Amino acid sequence: MKTNPLKIGNVLLKSNVLAAPLAGVSDIGFRAVCRLFGAALCYTEMISAKGLFFNNDKTKKLLQTTELESPCAVQIFGSEPDLMADMCKSPYLQKFDIIDINMGCPVSKIIKNNEGAALMGNIKLAEKIIKACVKAAEKPVTVKFRKGTSANCINAVEFAKMCEGSGAALITVHGRLLSQLYGGKSDFQIIKKVVESVKIPVIANGDIFFAFDAENLLKVTGAAGVMVARGSLGNPQIFSDITGQKQPLTKKEAIKMHAQILAKYTEEKTACLNMRKHLMWYLKGIKGAKQFKADAAQVSRLEDILYIADRAFIENE
């Protein structure tokens, strides 16, 4: 697929292919691997503004980055405009080039706090949050949201116009309703309508599992770029496939790099616990996957992960 540079405010990206912020997935190692494979921008896992305000250790660890990630983006969430604005000025966020506001997460514990996609049902509050963050931040502020909250409230176009009017430099639209969670199919037509309704760049998100999916999504919607989410799980090669670049690593090398970066920036035990789920994705579909996954579910040392990678991919080469 032919890719183009993408400008977000004063930040110029090499291409218009982005890696989505995924809670529990987009760790420091995963992001580094995705960038190496061709993702032009990666986002942190979503960061709680309250957690940041209270100096929560787990929250601060999510903000670690490597030199491979420049430029880099942080995604924050919350429902209090003043607090969100203050956190945009936090010293912990200074190293990030872009601040993204999550208004699309459908997880129940987020929705119950009137955060994430729940804000699509309260446009006035969402507007206050975006305006406060844009005013406070000395960098581009972007917003990620959905098609709407339910079949009775499909308001992505109205919401997009509000984001633009509030000063957002770019918006990302996931073509599903809050009520759909991650089921059903992404609605490309609603993304197209959003693209046609605003002048700021729109990134299309949803149902990209192969390079041709990304190409089709751009063709149908006319979006400025695409964001890959679940299609990248255990499959960072998707970014090379979409951008047409030569794959820099084998999957075995990607696993090792991912694990080694995690182990460098976190305790070995924590790194191994995080890698267990990633290994399940990396090992999907290979010969002998059942046994390798059973072994992966028990890893407690970095050397265990490296050993599994060697065994699994020697047998599949």
Task: Pinpoint the residues of the chain covered by CATH 3.20.20.70.
Answer: 6-243
216-220, long-range: CB < 8 A, 24+ apart: 217/188, 217/191, 218/1, 220/188, 220/189, 220/192
pLDDT in the model for residue 2:
83
Q: Let me know: does 279 contact 293? Beta carbons within 8 Å.
A: yes
Domain ranges in the chain with CATH number 1.10.1200: 251-314
**What is the pairing mode between strands 11-13 and 6-8?**
antiparallel
Render pLDDT for 179-215 as a digit per residue (tens, 0 to 9).
Answer: 999 999 999 999 999 999 999 999 999 999 999 999 9
Active site residue 153: no
Cα–Cα dist 122/154, whole Å: 13
Cβ neighbours of 200 (radius 10 Å): 17
Q: What is the pLDDT of residue 316?
A: 56
Please give the average per-residue pLDDT across 104-117, as a whole number: 96
Asked whether the predicted pLDDT for residue 87 surpasses 80, the reply is yes
Q: How far is CA 142 from the centre of its chain?
A: 13
Hunting for tokens 């960061």 — which residue is that? 47
The whole-chain average pLDDT of the chain stands at 96
pLDDT band at 315 (very low <50, low <70, confident <90, very high): low
Nearest to 101 by CA among 112, 27, 83: 83
The number of angstroms, rounded, from the C-alpha of 54 to the middle of its chain's C-alpha atoms is 24
- Whether residue 105 contacts residue 23, with contact meaning beta carbons closer than 8 Å, is answered with yes
Q: In this model, does residue 317 exceed pLDDT 70?
A: no
**For 6-243, which CATH class?**
alpha beta
pLDDT at 54 over 60: yes
Annotated catalytic residue: which of 42, 105, 133, 272?
A: 105
* pLDDT > 90: percent of the chain: 96
Residue from 245, 261, 262 nearest 40 by CA: 245
Q: CATH number of the domain at 251-314, please? A: 1.10.1200
Across 42-64, average pLDDT: 95
User: For residues 214 and 17, what is the distance between their CA atoms, to the nearest angstrom?
Assistant: 9
